[in-house]
A and B are shown apart, each in its own frame.
Chain A
Amino acid sequence: MNPWPFVAAAYTVAISLTVGLLAWSYISMRSAEAAADSLRRK
């Protein structure tokens, strides 16, 4: 059994889920902080 497709699949899962978590956290933080800033300016 060729092991490389399994290694590639494991790394794809780990990297894509980690990047997804970081992107979701970053976008939600930026939009929440932007909303708070715009409300303070008003």
Chain B
Amino acid sequence: MHALANPARFLRIARPATIWLLAVGLALALLGISAGLTLTPPDYLQGETVRILYVHVPSAWLGMGGWLGIAAASISQLVWRHPLAAVAGRAVAPAGATFAAICLLTGSIWGRPTWGTWWEWDGRLTSMLILFFLYLGYVALASAERERGGEGRIAAIYGLVGAVNLPIIHYSVLWWRTLHQGQSISVTGGSSIDNAILWPLPLTMIGFSFLFGAAVLMRMRAELAEAKVEARMRRLGA
């Protein structure tokens, strides 16, 4: 991480990485979506609506993963004063908010034919909605702090406090057994979904993760270029 503390060194890596993440991410996401829509069988209970899984699960993972990234950037800023940590936090927030919104919307669309309702104040749904609002708060706070010339410490503290919501989202299906189904996919413990339906999911998971990474790198590059312009303008004005 500290090897990337120099913005020039970071940009040397970020420029080619952006293109690769975009290209591979697009290819994998399109492959996974095509396979999920055409090559997998319908579920015996949910029928064709199970296909929403291939966009809903990656968006949930990235909505939560994005805030984990903000929390890591916050620690890096508060503890080590990493010069790119605040930039990284501000770059992750819009991408995380977008995927949290996709998760909420696709979940709601899935819920109507499956549960008979667009929305329920269930533990998982409510905690995910809170995450989306936390993202909006972070975007507003971080940009206000930047405009005032702050170092982003208040946004970093907010990012750390907001991370408390992540275990609540994760364990909500165990703590409040209401509408949302329990955990059906685990990194360590296998899956309760049949492989005939499950196999395109890793493709969309990796594909959308790469696209998320590309969006974050592009936002970081934009922020660094804007900072360069501001510094030059200050020097010219002085």
Q: Are A7 and B52 in contact (CB under 8 A)?
A: yes
Q: Are B109 and A32 in contact (CB under 8 A)?
A: no
Instruction: Tell me, yes or no, whether B206 is within 8 Å of chain A by CB.
Output: no
Q: When chains A and B are docked, how far (Å) is the Cα of A32 from the Cα of B59? A: 28
Interface size class of B (residues with CB under 8 A): 35 or more
* 9 contacting pairs across A/B (C-beta < 8 A): A6-B110, A10-B110, A22-B215, A25-B218, A33-B221, A36-B232, A39-B228, A39-B229, A39-B232
Q: Are B211 and A32 in contact (CB under 8 A)?
A: no
Residue positions of B touching A, CB distance < 8 A: 22, 29, 33, 37, 47-49, 51-52, 55-56, 59, 94-95, 98, 101-102, 105-106, 109-110, 112-113, 208, 211, 214-215, 218-219, 221-223, 225-226, 228-229, 232-233
Complex contacts, A29 vs chain B, CB 8 Å:
218-219, 221-222, 225
Residue positions of A touching B, CB distance < 8 A: 1, 3-4, 6-7, 9-11, 13-15, 17-18, 20-22, 24-26, 28-29, 31-33, 35-36, 39-40
Complex contacts, B112 vs chain A, CB 8 Å:
6
Q: Are A32 and B98 in contact (CB under 8 A)?
A: no
Q: Are A10 and B229 in contact (CB under 8 A)?
A: no
Please report whether the interface of chain A is mostly helix, strand, loop or mixed according to DSSP. Answer: helix
Expressed in whole angstroms, the minimum distance between the Cβ of B128 and any Cβ of chain A is 15
Complex contacts, A31 vs chain B, CB 8 Å:
222
Contact of A32 among B51, B106, B110, B225 (CB under 8 A): B225
Q: When chains A and B are docked, how far (Å) is the Cα of A3 from the Cα of B49? A: 6
Complex contacts, A7 vs chain B, CB 8 Å:
37, 48-49, 51-52
Given known A-B contacts A10-B110, A32-B225, A35-B229, A4 and B101 have beta carbons under 8 A apart: no
Q: When chains A and B are docked, how far (Å) is the Cα of A29 from the Cα of B229? A: 13
Known: A3-B48, A6-B109, A29-B219; 13 extra A-B contacts, CB below 8 A, are A7-B49, A10-B55, A10-B105, A11-B33, A13-B106, A17-B102, A22-B22, A22-B218, A24-B94, A25-B218, A29-B225, A32-B222, A36-B228
